[in-house]
Amino acid sequence: MSSTQNQAPETGTARVKRGMAEQLKGGVIMDVVNAEQAKIAEDAGAVAVMALERVPADIRKDGGVARMSDPNMIEEIIEAVSIPVMAKSRIGHFVEAQVLQSLGVDYIDESEVLTPADEVNHSDKFAFTTPFVCGATNLGEALRRIAEGAAMIRSKGEAGTGNVVEAVRHLRQIKNEIARLRGYDNNELYAAAKDLRAPYELVKEVAELGKLPVVLFSAGGVATPADAALMRQLGAEGVFVGSGIFKSGDPAKRAAAIVKATTFYDDPKIIADASRNLGEAMVGINCDTLPETERYANRGW
């Protein structure tokens, strides 16, 4: 179309939002709470950092309402590193998202780790130039977020536990539901869309592609190199690591080790080498002892 030749460059398109996430694939995105940690993460080979005030393990410990981080802290982190910087808004708190966009973050995570601001609605993500990543525990939830404009999905897991079991559950759930759709004929896709509570067009697209139309990462509970490699082998295109790094004994070493294992996720010898002498992992929480009200994965609808 030669008519495009004279058009002004266009920002905030679906292609640049989703395409940005494509560039992160195969990588590790690390939670950091200050510029110093951000540099450690960058030096270890992180593809991006998530700027937040407290890692999920501390949010759990401290209790209270968890909100968007201080703009000063986010700006310091943007200044400190050259890799992309993400930051979290509360679910449905579109003003926090507007603030994050004005700060120039590269991605907004509308996150269940923070205390939800709206118990019915998520933010309209099409209203932003900055792309959004959202959590999901199953395919229907992922597609509802994409329908609202999310340009990247992460399986939720259970943040701040250091326990990978929920991450595995949610990723398997999403993958299994995609595989099931692949086997449906066209007649069945309408009812499937109804069951998934997701738009028919998206359901049909997933059935044809055999994958989500956006990048799928895994999050919530990855604490070791083997955990990261496990999520990759299960089909995650990359991993978020939150408390697992900076709540461990030797963050720089563990961060680099998780990056290695994420790249060579199908090579047990490299994962073994990466796993040697890492010092203490974060202590971790058994998810079956977590009361329902403290399960972050239940937040979001």
Q: Closest distance between another protein and the C-beta of residue 251, in Å?
A: 17
Q: Is 234 in the site for another protein (CB under 8 A)?
A: no
Q: Which of 88, 156, 175, 247 is catalytic?
A: 88
Dist CA 171 CA 177 (whole Å): 10
Single-letter code of the amino acid located at 201: E
Per CB under 8 A, the list member of 34, 58, 75, 83 interacting with another protein is 83
Q: Is 22 in the site for another protein (CB under 8 A)?
A: yes
- Residue closer to another protein by CB (options 142, 259) is 259
Fill in the per-residue mask, 88 to 117: x = in contact with another protein (CB under 8 A), - = not in contact: -------------x--xxxx----------
DSSP assignment, residue 282?
P
Q: Is 52 in the site for another protein (CB under 8 A)?
A: no
Residues in the chain: 301
**Cβ distance 208 to 201 under 8 Å?**
no
With contacts defined by CB under 8 A, name the span among 77-85, 134-142, 187-195, 243-251 that binds another protein: 77-85
CA angle 109, 153, 53 (to 5 degrees): 25
Q: Is 11 in the site for another protein (CB under 8 A)?
A: yes
DSSP string, 243-272: HHHHTSS-HHHHHHHHHHHHHTTT-HHHHH
Residue 88 is among the residues annotated as catalytic for this protein: yes
Is 58 labelled as part of a ligand binding site? no
Dist CA 292 CA 260 (whole Å): 35
Single-letter code of the amino acid located at 84: P
Dist CA 147 CA 126 (whole Å): 9
Dist CA 14 CA 244 (whole Å): 32
Q: Is 84 in the site for another protein (CB under 8 A)?
A: yes
Is 155 labelled as part of a ligand binding site? no
With contacts defined by CB under 8 A, name the span among 51-59, 128-136, 182-190, 278-286 that binds another protein: 128-136
Site for another protein, rule CB under 8 A: 1-2, 4-5, 7-13, 15-16, 19-20, 22-27, 42, 45-48, 82-84, 101, 104-107, 129-131, 259-260, 263-264
Q: Enumerate the active-site residues.
A: 88
